[in-house]
Amino acid sequence: MMSHEPPYRPQGVRFFDQLSLAAVRSAVSASRHFLRLTLSTWQAPLIEDDALLIASELVTNAVAATGILADRPTWSELAELSLVAVRLVGLRDSVVIEVWDASGESPVLRHADDDAENGRGLFLVQQLAQRWGSYRIAGGKVVWAELAVSPPAPMPLPQRQKSARSAGTSAARPDAGLLRLLLAGLEAL
């Protein structure tokens, strides 16, 4: 699902962290490290794999749109470099990955053919995320994707041990041997 609104209101934000990076290829791996660290601090490691994939695609797109993806940029290219920012926003039941860049162009989901080499990034984001979208802000735009975080599984209630229960039952049941002894004792009186 694609939306042009921010996916949260400020008062719904529980956790927040962000990292600004130069718009070069290494921003992708730096974002992945940032996400892994932040998600483990927030104790949301279950969404780590999907979050890292999404961040890689969104940051690669942001760098492609506004920076330099070449492995060896020249000094003059670097002098003009824009920034990108990756933000992680923790909500009650989800985590939003936001990537800001300085381009006003909106992302366009392509319907890639099976053998197409490009146009897979956002398709993947759409597959993995519960929702995704983009919105403009001063100086650029944000592309975001939301991943649901399931609440921690409740601790299983302690199961009554079968053996304990049967032990309880047998303790409550009259013991035939004991009764026989009692009877013999009474008859002997």
Binding residues vs ligand ATP (CB under 6 A): 57, 61-62, 65, 101, 103, 105, 107-108, 110, 118-123, 143
Residue from 161, 188, 145, 132 nearest 52 by CA = 145
- Stretch 53-82 residues interacting with Mg ion (CB under 5 A): 61
Q: Return the number of the residue (94 or 103) whose C-beta is nearest ligand ATP.
A: 103
- State the helix-helix crossing angle for 26-41 and 48-66, rounded to 10 degrees: 150
Q: SS3 of 90, please?
A: strand
Q: Return the number of the residue (119 or 168) whose C-beta is nearest ligand ATP.
A: 119
Do residues 19 and 86 lie in contact, with contact meaning Cβ atoms separated by under 8 Å? yes
Length of the chain: 189
Q: Quick one: which of 121, 132, 134, 144 contacts Mg ion (CB under 5 A)?
A: 121
Q: Return the number of the residue (38 or 134) whose C-beta is nearest ligand ATP.
A: 134
Q: Return the number of the residue (121 or 140) whose C-beta is nearest Mg ion.
A: 121
Closest CB 125 distance from Mg ion, rounded Å? 9
Q: SS3 of 36, please?
A: helix
Specify which residues 97 forms β-bridges with: 88, 145
Cβ burial of 10 (10 Å; 0-12, 13-18, 19+) is: exposed
Closest CB 60 distance from Mg ion, rounded Å? 5
Instruction: Give residue 189's identity as a one-letter amino acid code.
Output: L
Position closest to ligand ATP via CB: 121
- Asked whether position 107 contacts Mg ion by CB under 5 A, the answer is no
Give the binding site for Mg ion (CB under 5 A).
Answer: 61, 121
